[in-house]
Structure 1
């Protein structure tokens, strides 16, 4: 923490190795009082008597460009802000004072530290949650809690999570973010949160109760046997490219961003800047961020957005220092660590290349499962995905996080109702989002009143969900896909805040009941939660004969017998069955 309150005052510190001068800015209302800070190596320090927890502060820094003392700067290690970020063009205009535009950090005393073992274990179900969208329309959640982290602790919500077999909620970013600068002129706002400014400061909209709200919610979920994983963004910040805002790092240490030899910003994240993990100070802040959330909230672990950036220096290195530093930290080494194993930079697709104790989002699972049910994918590829993707992660352990839909891309329901993206509302002439996403429309794009089309789509949704729950290892379901959420064919809905809100009143309750049944049947098959790749599986044709090598290319399904489960996949019947032990029970 950069602001440590004590018995007689608060000690402030901020890193600015190339600054010529740094000021601490204390605020009483809108009145700013500046205190010159003293250099201490790469850091600047000030101790101010009488300043207690609850005080509001920021920094200013001066020096050669891009330093600009007119810019109010948020503490990179802030944990609490007094307001959310709102984009304004003046944030990027040199020499324009931004005191009226930038949130102030709040001096916050740390809570007694926690060191709790994770509740979640690999092999369970992760439930991806957009915190705001999840409860904005939930009828049981009190109006004052809708859209907040506290809503996840509501008994009705916990009952729903338990019913569908959730082992851990994975919260999409909960730290304060800023809209990309092209959105406000279009009347749009960022509804996902993958554009943070500093890595620890909670978004006041999502956590109006501060760190205590997160801690209490994590505890309530833990009491129900449900873990909490935070989706954190350490690959870039919302300051964007050289024409972007000056809010924190750009004004204190622009070298925290990766630069090419000619001085231009490297953009491996596709957002205008990339944090430089070859810099020990950047890695130290990343580790501090993780420790903060573990000790202050009790979370089980982290999902790292565009995690390949963390292993760049500049090229990807599976022996990158950050991996060793996490492994050497006893607090962090015990956490659940999940990589999104790609970025848009050179050699940025690294599925299967992360450390053996990490999990990785497996997009090849998504694509092969969808291709099979669309009708142009083979049964052999599907069988490999069901068994843990040993072709990607090796023959010993299923390290993938298997999913058929995520926040990024079509929803599960839209994947069987739209053959093409419908992102016109994003203001980019339908050019954004995945152009070649594997999807199909069953003969009628979008909404259709044709009963046969609707029946086919319902069967496809069940087949996709049945496949997911019948898959060995860790699986992931995005909130709302269990009851047919739709984004009207928008497969890049980050800028469509209200479109993301889950429709609890209008949900497909029959599909939700079906998923609850899937959860019960999966729970009855311990082998499905085992991340050790099974080598005792036997494969049979749908006519009961042993599967031969020549059968895989033309097969429309198979029967898999392994451990305590028998799984039947039948593409023609649009059905997946699972039978715990010797029974036989239809699940899709």
Structure 2
């Protein structure tokens, strides 16, 4: 049995007389095929030709590697200014890319790293590619990686830099797992695999590109964290909704909308707030306002969550919103801690501190 197909450089398949055409004969044939049209179709929605970047432009049957998700999450966590609005769009399934064609959040294959480019460990350890071993004078591979080495290029013994790098990896992991859409991780990222800054290892059939299984022990805490955030997503359907958020009251008698964006002060974000250069935001996900039923046609009800993101270099106090959202919250994840473990109880209107460059996940308990 074949579950589906992933099409490399898929924009090439849509080219007719050199131009990319969503209505090309290839897509017609796929749509009409009684077998292929029923399996998973995953596009890498770009190629090397002019006009080849086609993220969001594939037909309704297709899911896509969301390159805009990758770029935005990288930019946000390296502290780039003016990324907050884009970050919010990517976190919630990229409706701007997929909703108009009738697709659902699952059409967005969310990823930050893959077989091409830096590993997750290298993404937080190198500002520049280091591809001399490939024999092309470092000309090959992507030069604009949206990476940040946390203060030192490559290997270091500095405990503060190493702690920050591991925290950045945890931040990216949890961002991926609480985002609407379909998460994709690169094999080995969960144990901190490195290619020592080589972001184009296609020609390296050696220790540089092989899996170093001893990292399971060396980075056991990172592996445990990856398991923890994966389980969080698996157990809570509010992180994997089948339909996009509406930003509205869903049912008669509801006190809060299905989603709300909040400032650290606990007030709703305004238009000016989005353009202010903030690097921190809280988002409320209403587990009681999931509109799509499950596969058996049953209503889906989940816990509600408050996600606090802080990409600043300083700690930020988040005030939990008023009692319409929740009377009490429990902090269930804090990326400041290597294990992610925390169990703080916070009442409505109280403050909780997000450490520099960290994520807090709060679960409604009352």
Q: Deviations over 1:486-539 (max 9, x none)?
A: 000001111111211111112311001001000111112213222421113111
The answer to whether 1:574 aligns with 2:278 is no
Give the superposition deviation at 1:325: 1.3
How many matched pairs?
A: 286
The answer to whether 1:540 aligns with 2:248 is no
The answer to whether 1:558 aligns with 2:281 is yes
Q: Specify the structure having the higher radius of gyration (Cα).
A: 1
Aligned pairs (5 A) from 1:100-499: 298-314=1-17, 315-377=19-81, 378-394=83-99, 397-398=104-105, 399-498=107-206, 499=208
- Kept after mapping to 2: 8 A contact 1:415/1:440: yes
Distance 1:478 1:554 in 2: 31
Give the superposition deviation at 1:307: 0.6
- Kept after mapping to 1: 8 A contact 2:9/2:45: yes
**SS of residue in 2 equivalent to 1:519:** helix
**SS of residue in 1 equivalent to 2:360:** strand
**SS of residue in 1 equivalent to 2:156:** coil
Distance 2:48 2:215 in 1: 37
Give the superposition deviation at 1:583: 4.3
- Kept after mapping to 2: 8 A contact 1:474/1:531: no
Q: Measured at CA, do residues 579 and 356 of structure 1 come closer, stay the same or move farther in structure 2, by a change above 3 Å?
A: farther
Give the superposition deviation at 1:449: 0.5
**SS of residue in 2 equivalent to 1:330:** coil
Residue in 2 that maps onto 1:111:
none
- Kept after mapping to 2: 8 A contact 1:521/1:578: no
Give the unaligned 5+ runs of structure 1: 1-297
- Kept after mapping to 2: 8 A contact 1:470/1:578: no
Q: Deviations over 1:20-47 (max 9, x none)?
A: xxxxxxxxxxxxxxxxxxxxxxxxxxxx
Q: Deviations over 1:32-76 (max 9, x none)?
A: xxxxxxxxxxxxxxxxxxxxxxxxxxxxxxxxxxxxxxxxxxxxx
Give the superposition deviation at 1:320: 1.1
**SS of residue in 2 equivalent to 1:460:** helix
Distance 1:328 1:504 in 2: 44
Distance 1:389 1:490 in 2: 30
Give the superposition deviation at 1:305: 0.2
**SS of residue in 1 equivalent to 2:185:** strand
Moved over 6 A (4+): none
**SS of residue in 2 equivalent to 1:388:** coil
Q: TM-score, normalised by structure 2?
A: 0.75
- Kept after mapping to 2: 8 A contact 1:406/1:478: yes
Distance 1:490 1:525 in 2: 37
Q: Deviations over 1:118-172 (max 9, x none)?
A: xxxxxxxxxxxxxxxxxxxxxxxxxxxxxxxxxxxxxxxxxxxxxxxxxxxxxxx
- Kept after mapping to 2: 8 A contact 1:466/1:577: no
Give the superposition deviation at 1:379: 1.6
Residue in 2 that maps onto 1:510:
221
**SS of residue in 1 equivalent to 2:150:** coil
- Kept after mapping to 1: 8 A contact 2:193/2:215: no
Give the superposition deviation at 1:358: 0.5
- Kept after mapping to 1: 8 A contact 2:192/2:215: no
Distance 2:200 2:126 in 1: 14
Residue in 2 that maps onto 1:179:
none
Distance 2:262 2:120 in 1: 29
Distance 1:500 1:465 in 2: 21
- Kept after mapping to 1: 8 A contact 2:262/2:269: yes
- Kept after mapping to 1: 8 A contact 2:127/2:153: yes
Give the unaligned 5+ runs of structure 2: 247-257, 288-304, 313-355
